[in-house]
Amino acid sequence: MPSETDTAERWAALGAGGPDNALHSRDDPTPPASGALHDGPRSSLRIRALRGALAQSQAQCSNAQARIDTLGQRNARLEKQLSELARSEQRAWGLAYHDVLTGLANRALLQDRLRQAMSQAQRGCRLVAVLLIDLDGFKSVNDRLGHAAGDECLRAVAARLSASIRGADTACRHGGDEFVIMLPEVDDPAMVNAVMAKVHAHLSEPHFIDRHEVRISASIGSALYPLHGASYEQLMKHADLAMYLAKAVSRPALIDARSGLSHPAAESTRGNVTPSAAPCLAVEIH
């Protein structure tokens, strides 16, 4: 049996610090941290605290994401409502300023655009033309084929009128089977005649409605600002008189925009006009 002295000498040979350090030096070359054997419970508390903080952060992130999703849904609903309001406003504007049947401008929009055109023409020393178009023979379409066919015919006429003019021009359904075209920035009255001839040619082509071929013609009267009036009412009165003269002279006939038709002469002959009595040049389109 070794003595205590021999045992102490052996441990001293293994290294200072006794059996604890000797065991540690065999299993782990890193010296143990000071107080490591006493930090176990404290470390467990810290770990549990960290885990709790992590769980709380994850819960907060989850709540924040749910809030973001809710706000996104509300934003989508608001955007949808705004889009619906914009569409409703556009529909209301369309109903206020456009003809429901044909989609053309109505009288209110025509008057507004005519006022703007006259103001611009006055500054630029130009002319503005107003063409009043009355459909000849339209009543027979309603009588023979019914009002649904008549509505379809009016829509076809509106489409052809729109195809006959520039983007800056305005085509308007004035009421019933009467239409108006407003031409701003006219430099030469001959341009008005060209537009009237084009409109007449387009309207004279046959329409096919419910498998029926429909042919209609048009009488067109014109007025020029400022030669024939300085207001919507004056221009429309002059164009109306010119249109009735066109009906009386010949069907179809176009009134030359350069004629300078006078109101008294036209009124005195309205309803009883012969080609020789007409105070204007009638241009017949064959």
* Catalytic residue ranges: 177
Residue 222 DSSP label: E
- Can you tell me the distance from the alpha carbon of 203 to that of 159, in angstroms, rounded to the nearest whole number? 10
Q: Which helix (H) or strand (E) holds 120?
A: helix 107-124
131 contacts 243 by C-beta, under 8 angstroms: no
What are the strands, taking DSSP E only, across 36-177?
127-136, 170-175
Q: Which helix (H) or strand (E) holds 195?
A: helix 189-204
Q: Residue 280 class from Cβ within 10 Å (0-12 exposed, 13-18 middle, 19+ buried)?
A: buried
Task: Please give the structure tokens belonging to residue 4.
Answer: 């205590």
> What residues are paired with 179 via a beta bridge?
133, 173
DSSP code string of 43-78:
HHHHHHHHHHHHHHHHHHHHHHHHHHHHHHHHHHHH
